[in-house]
Structure formats: C-alpha cells, structure tokens
Amino acid sequence: MTDIWDSLKVLSDPTRLRLLALLLKEELSVAELQEILGMGQSRISSQLALLRQAGFVTDRRDGKKAFYSLRAGLPAKQVTLLRAACDSVADLPESAEDLASLDRTLHKRRQHSEQYFNLIAGKLGKNYCPGRSWEALGHLALRLVPAITVADLGAGEGLVSQLLARRAERVWCIDNSPKMVEVGTELAKKNGLANLTYKLGDIESVPLPDKSVDLAILSQALHHASHPQSAVTEAHRILKPGGQLLVLDLKEHDYEKAHEQFGDLWLGFKESALHSFLKSAGFLKVDVTTVSREANEPCFETLLASGVKGGK
C-alpha cells in the first residue's frame, strides 16, 4: 500500500504530471523539455530525478546530452495509472500548449537532419562522412546476392544502390530529403538504371508493401532516426520470409560535434544495442561485428549487423 501512496504523491505535482504526459509520447532531452515547458534546467532536472527515483522514467546519456523516457517494463497497472493521471488533465490549456510545443520540437529535429542532407545533396560522395569508408562498404558488398529486390533505407544519393542496381532485379531507395531523391533520380537516369527507383519517405514508415523485398539495407542511416527500433521493425515488415537485413552504422562514440556537423541524432550505438534492435524486431541469426576503425581522430568505428526474417 505504501508504494501506491508514494506513486500517487509523485503524480500530484503539476510539473511532474506534465513531464510524464510528454514522456509517454516521446523520448526527450532535458534541453527539449526545457524548451517545451518554458522552465529552467534545475527545475526540470529535479522533477525528473523524482520521477526516476519513483521508477517511472529512465535516462540515457548521449555524449553530454541526457535523454529521458518512460521506463521499459513498467507493470501494466502502473502504466494504466500514469495514463489515467495524464488523461485527467489532458483538457487543460497547459496540456494543449505542451503538445503543440512537442510537435514543434519534433519538427525541428526532423528539419535539422533534412537541412543537412539537402545541403550536401550532390556532394555526399565527395565530402567526408563518418563511417562511410570503402572498407566498411566492401564488407557489406561481400554479403550481397544478385537478382533480388533490395530496399536501401535512408539511402541518400544511393551510392550503394547505384552499384547494386547493376546486378539486382529491383532496387528501391528511400530517403526523407526531397533534394536527395531528386539528385539520386537524376543519377539513376544518367547511368541508365531503369530498375533503380527513388521514393520520398521515412525509414520509420517505409512506403513499401509488407513482404516485398529480399534484402533491406540501413547504411549509416540508423543514427539519423528518431526511433532506431522503429526503423529496424519497418525493415522487418517489408522483408519477405527468409529475407535479410544489413545494418552499417557507427559504433558508440563521444564526438559531440557530429550532432551539428553531420546532422546525427545518435552518437552511434553499442553492439548490444544493435543486437537488441534486431532481436526485438523479430530477426533470427542476429550478428553484430566491428568491421572498420578510422585512423584519424576521432577514430570512428563501424559496426555491421545482420539478421534474417523467419517464416515461410
């Protein structure tokens, strides 16, 4: 009974309730929560600390940034309690303002990434991009099978797909940057690749049917996703039974400037995190390996993860 009363006491504070309502919808950084609620860092941080102590939320570090989200594995009764508490104040003006501010914050996240890729469209193969080494791409290429249907998710200009299309039956390039899609389409046309098609879309909501491709690729795209797990789950959805997912991405690092320089949302991933993404999405035969390490600072390392979709 004491635990229940303690939980109710935590939920009795208006600020903590507003924070929980936001975190029920999205993982957010302390800075983003400050912006949404219009409150100082010390006030936000102290209330988050109480929510964490109560076991409602959890935090993770991404370089110098701290992100908070609803704690995974909360008992169903606790989740029901939290949702009921948040629903009880949903009609208040403050709640409506918070949700509007949340939408603006998430839009700014997407815009930041899109602006970066629109800016470098047409130059991606010439400019430096962390993790995009020929050594790493070579490891990926060695695992490719010809005469199949491929989805290159978060393709950019589709440098990998331009090579794949010369042997694959059909290649789909999905990217959320209109400029990247425009540039890639022109490249495909210039190179006479009629089986290579670019589509505007998000890797967390791929504009392809269920069970429609043999191979899905996420090459240096996952660290630009707001929800990496959602992107991996989407890859599982569009794969045919027996199809394979290949993920090339940066190993977790502490080069903070990547957020601004390269539009990165995540500072890479631990091997265990990539493994968990694939297993949680339902992939079998999951394997994660470090395939390259750059010689120059900050010495980015690249991981190659693979998994197979089960079923017949």
For 236-270, what is each residue's pLDDT tens digit? 999 999 999 999 999 999 999 988 888 889 999 99
Name which residue leads in pLDDT, 90 or 243: 243
* 170-182 tens-digit pLDDT: 999 999 999 999 9
- Helix (H) or strand (E) holding 286, with range, is strand 283-293
Rg of the chain, C-alpha, whole Å:
21
The neighbouring-strand residues paired with 153 are 174
pLDDT in tens, 261-299: 888 899 999 999 999 999 999 999 999 999 888 888 999
pLDDT at 185: 93
Q: Report how far residue 284's alpha carbon sits from residue 302's, in angstroms, rounded to the nearest whole number.
A: 22
Residue 19 has pLDDT above 70, yes or no: yes
Whole-number pLDDT of residue 130: 72
What 57-62 contacts at long range (C-beta under 8 Å, 24+ apart), as own/partner pairs, is 57/19, 57/20, 57/23, 62/266, 62/267
CATH of the domain spanning 2-120: 1.10.10.10
Predicted pLDDT at 47: 92
Q: How far is residue 42's CA from residue 298's CA, in Å, rounded to a whole number?
A: 32
Please enumerate in sequence order all residues whose Cβ is within 8 A of that of 206, keeping only pairs 6 or more positions apart, or say none: 151, 153, 174, 234, 235, 237, 238
Residue, of 157 and 240, whose pLDDT is higher: 240
Rounded average pLDDT over 156-182:
88
Q: What is the DSSP letter of 125?
A: T
Compute the mean pLDDT over every residue in the chain, rounded to the nearest whole number.
Answer: 88
**Torsion angle (degrees, nearest 10) of CA 24, 26, 31, 33:** -40
pLDDT reading at 138 higher than 70: no
Identity of the amino acid at 257: K
Is the overall model pTM greater than 0.85, yes or no?
no
Confidence grade of residue 2 (pLDDT, cut at 50, 70, 90): very low
Residue 142: the pLDDT is: 40
HEC profile for 189-243? HHCCCCCEEEEECECCECCCCCCCEEEEEEECCHHHCCCHHHHHHHHHHHEEEEE
Spatial CA neighbour of 57 closest among 107, 16, 104, 93: 16
Locate 87 and state its tokens.
């629903």
Residues 42-84: tens digit of each pLDDT: 999 999 999 999 889 999 988 888 899 999 888 888 889 889 9
Distance of CA 303 to the CA centre of its chain: 16
Is the pLDDT assigned to residue 140 strictly greater than 90? Answer: no
Q: Please state, in angstroms and rounded to a whole number, the distance separating the CA atoms of residues 301 and 290.
A: 7
182 near 147, Cβ under 8 Å? no
Going from N- to C-terminal start, the domains of the chain cover 2-120, 134-309
Asked whether residue 124 carries a pLDDT value surpassing 60, the answer given is no
Q: For residue 248, what are its two tokens?
A: 């090339």
pLDDT of 311: 83
CATH class of 134-309: alpha beta
97 vs 18, 92, 161, 268, CA distance in Å? 11, 9, 43, 33
165-200 burial: b if 16+ Cβ within 10 Å, else e: beebebbbbbbbbebbbbbbbebbeeeebebbbbbe
Q: What pLDDT band is residue 133 in, cutting at 50, 70 and 90?
A: low
